[in-house]
Amino acid sequence: MIPMVASVPYLILDPEQGMNRLARRLLYIALGIATTLVIGTVGFTVIEGWPPFDAFYMTLTTMTTVGYREIHELSHAGRIFNSFLIIFGVTTIFIAIGAMTQTIIELEFGEALGKRRVKHMIDKLENHFIVCGFGRVGRGAAAELQHSGMPFVVVDRDPDRVTRATNAGMLAVEADSTRDETLHSVGVARARGLIAALATDADNLFVVLSAKALNPKLYVAARAAEEGAEEKMRRAGADAVFAPYSITGHRLAQALLRPHVMQFLDFTSNKIDMNVAIEQVRVAEESEFVSKTIQEMQIRRDLGVIVLAVRKGDGGMLFNPPADTAISGGDYLIVMGRHENLHRLEGLLAAKR
């Protein structure tokens, strides 16, 4: 399916914002208190002629409402000045106490409230994807899902990686994805697919086994680092297994042997031209194009879309299908074209007769 827009409002929770807010408030509080002390010290020194320390001490006891006694007898002008100092100083102290209390409460309860918001958003997810691990491979997978506008959630044990994901506008939770309760909490029973991109093959194998046991219909793609792990993950239930090192080596060699082929693949898959893509489009059982041939559909003439392959309902793949190939309900057309034309084709194939 070709996503039109992102279906999940991603949550951005930056813990550094709380610390920055605390630092700013502390600075404002310190400036307010220092300003009051300076004004009081200078005022008593000028008006009453007191020594600077006596003036400072008098100001400090006044603004903190301690009020032992007057250091020296105050004149009429000194008492007027002290009256304003009491109002201004006490107000400054109360505001400082209130701001500090509010900041502490926000820091204490902000994380809990953030987790509740994340859980509420995850509970709303349907037909979404789960990315287990936010390392180099997981980040690439999550970025592609985000670009495609698909709903997904990232799971990682590392708080720094979770912060990095949320800062990138992704829905993320800090948890151990190898535990069944974690997979339950991110909606594995409602999910459409799962990406196992953890650091070790053992953890990825465990995730594949757990996810398939909780949701047998889940499409699982896994990362394999060791050569022998690929077959084990397929036996465990992984629908697709990728070995990053093997794939990278293969592409490096192909870049030397068949550079024009690699350039074409990069053109279609790496977004060199953002308006051209290869997509899979499903033919609905009630579509008016069922039983029609590719020639009769005229999608190349009308939409400028090229049919590269047809994946039949029985799982068979027909590459470069001839013009007289009949289309059945449940088939997937592997097509290439501009995004707007691919969206139009998707709507046509999904429409009822």
Please tell me the distance from the alpha carbon of residue 173 to that of residue 158, in angstroms, as a whole number: 10
Please name the fold of domain 15-120.
Helix Hairpins (1.10.287)
In the chain, which ranges are continuous DSSP H helix? 15-48, 52-63, 76-124, 136-148, 159-167, 180-185, 201-214, 229-236, 244-257, 259-269, 294-297, 299-303, 339-350
Please name the fold of domain 125-248.
Rossmann fold (3.40.50)
Mean of pLDDT over the chain: 84
Pairing of strands 276-282, 332-338: antiparallel
Contact assessment for residue 212 and residue 189, using Cβ atoms and an 8 Å cutoff: no
Structure tokens that stand for 319 in this block: 């590459």
pLDDT of residue 222: 93
pLDDT-based confidence at 18, cuts 50/70/90?
Answer: low
pLDDT of residue 111: 63
Does residue 76 register a pLDDT over 70?
yes
pLDDT-based confidence at 188, cuts 50/70/90?
Answer: very high
Residues 6+ apart with CB under 8 A from 157: 174, 175, 176, 177
> In the chain, what percentage of residues exceed pLDDT 70?
89
pLDDT-based confidence at 12, cuts 50/70/90?
Answer: very low
pLDDT of residue 13: 40
pLDDT tens for 105-132 read: 776 676 666 677 888 888 888 999 999 9
pLDDT tens for 277-297 read: 788 888 888 888 888 898 888
pLDDT-based confidence at 161, cuts 50/70/90?
Answer: very high
Contact assessment for residue 279 and residue 300, using Cβ atoms and an 8 Å cutoff: no
Please tell me the distance from the alpha carbon of residue 177 to that of residue 211, in angstroms, as a whole number: 10
Common-topology check for domains 15-120 and 273-350: no
Q: Where do the structural domains in the chain lie, given as residue ranges?
A: 15-120, 125-248, 273-350
Please name the fold of domain 273-350.
Alpha-Beta Plaits (3.30.70)
Asked which of 61-70, 92-101, 291-300 is least confident by mean pLDDT, the reply is: 61-70
> In the chain, what percentage of residues exceed pLDDT 90?
33
pLDDT of residue 180: 93
pLDDT of residue 16: 54
pTM: 0.59
Across 131-153, average pLDDT:
91
**C-alpha torsion angle, residues 12, 15, 21, 22 (rounded to 10):** 160
pLDDT of residue 62: 87
- Which has the higher per-residue pLDDT, 237 or 265? 237
